[in-house]
């Protein structure tokens, strides 16, 4: 748990930094990872997530056929849903950052559990659900192409202000 959590935190942090900072001109360009390194990273992620799935299945049921079915179904869903989800994430870069933030959250949870600190799953799911809800609202507002405007009640126009109100406000703040 500790190794997997630290790996997720490290990998997500590096990816977030690369996404936000972009590539800089440097004297020593970063070498592309080798095929073996990529395979190793994929295997480590699969092990971490498989272990988490197995632990969750064991926690939910003591019946072996149910646990095996749950793990097989989870793998099948991941296999078939990964391409459509990947396409959506590629079209919306903010979803990449959100997904990486989720990896940070999962990594921190794994590290906490390695030290026998139990974080209720409901808190984690609620935080993730709220984040997804806010991002869906952001995506919808961006898809309309219109900037968000405040309602008239909150916006003071120059027509409604009394003459000399700006001068009074400036002298009051001085």
Tens digits of per-residue pLDDT, 59-86? 666 777 877 787 778 777 777 777 787 7
The CA-CA-CA angle for residues 15, 18, 22, to 5°, reads 155
Comparing 128 with 154, the larger pLDDT belongs to 128
Segments in 61-157 forming alpha helices (H): 64-91, 93-114, 121-143
What crossing angle do the helices spanning 93-114 and 64-91 adopt, rounded to 10°?
A: 140
The crossing angle, in degrees rounded to 10, of helices 93-114 and 121-143 is 170
SS3 109: helix
pLDDT at position 158 is: 53
Give the percent of the chain with pLDDT over 70: 61
Q: What is the pTM of this model?
A: 0.58
Instruction: Domain ranges for the chain, please list them.
Output: 2-21+33-50+87-146
- pLDDT higher than threshold 90 for residue 22: no
Read off the pLDDT of each residue in 14-28 and give the average, rounded to a whole number: 71
Identify the residue with better confidence: 102 or 39: 102
Phi, psi dihedrals of residue 127, rounded to the nearest 5°: -65, -45
- State the average pLDDT over residues 96-120: 90
Q: Check residue 131 and give its pLDDT.
A: 93
pLDDT of residue 167: 52
pLDDT of residue 59: 61
Least confident of 105-114, 118-127, 141-150: 141-150
H/E stretch holding 88 reads helix 64-91
Best-predicted range by mean pLDDT (4-8, 25-29, 59-63, 68-72): 4-8
Q: Give the confidence band of 52 by pLDDT, cuts at 50, 70, 90.
A: low
């Amino acid at each position: 748990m500790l190794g997997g959590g630290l790996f997720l935190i490290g990998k997500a942090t590096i990816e977030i930094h690369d996404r936000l900072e972009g590539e800089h001109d440097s004297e020593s360009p970063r070498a592309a990872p080798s095929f073996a390194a990529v395979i190793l990273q994929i295997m480590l992620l699969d092990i971490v997530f498989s272990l988490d799935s197995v632990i969750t299945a064991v926690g939910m049921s003591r019946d072996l056929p149910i646990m095996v079915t749950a793990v097989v179904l989870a793998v099948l869903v991941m296999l078939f849903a990964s391409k459509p989800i990947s396409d959506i994430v590629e079209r919306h870069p903010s979803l990449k950052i959100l997904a990486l933030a989720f990896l940070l959250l999962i990594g921190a949870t794994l590290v906490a559990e390695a030290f026998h600190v139990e974080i209720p799953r409901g808190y984690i799911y609620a935080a993730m659900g709220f984040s997804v809800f806010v991002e869906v609202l952001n995506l919808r507002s961006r898809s309309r192409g219109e900037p968000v405007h405040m309602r008239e009640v909150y916006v003071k126009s120059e027509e409604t202000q009394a003459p000399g109100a700006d001068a009074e406000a400036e002298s009051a703040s001085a």
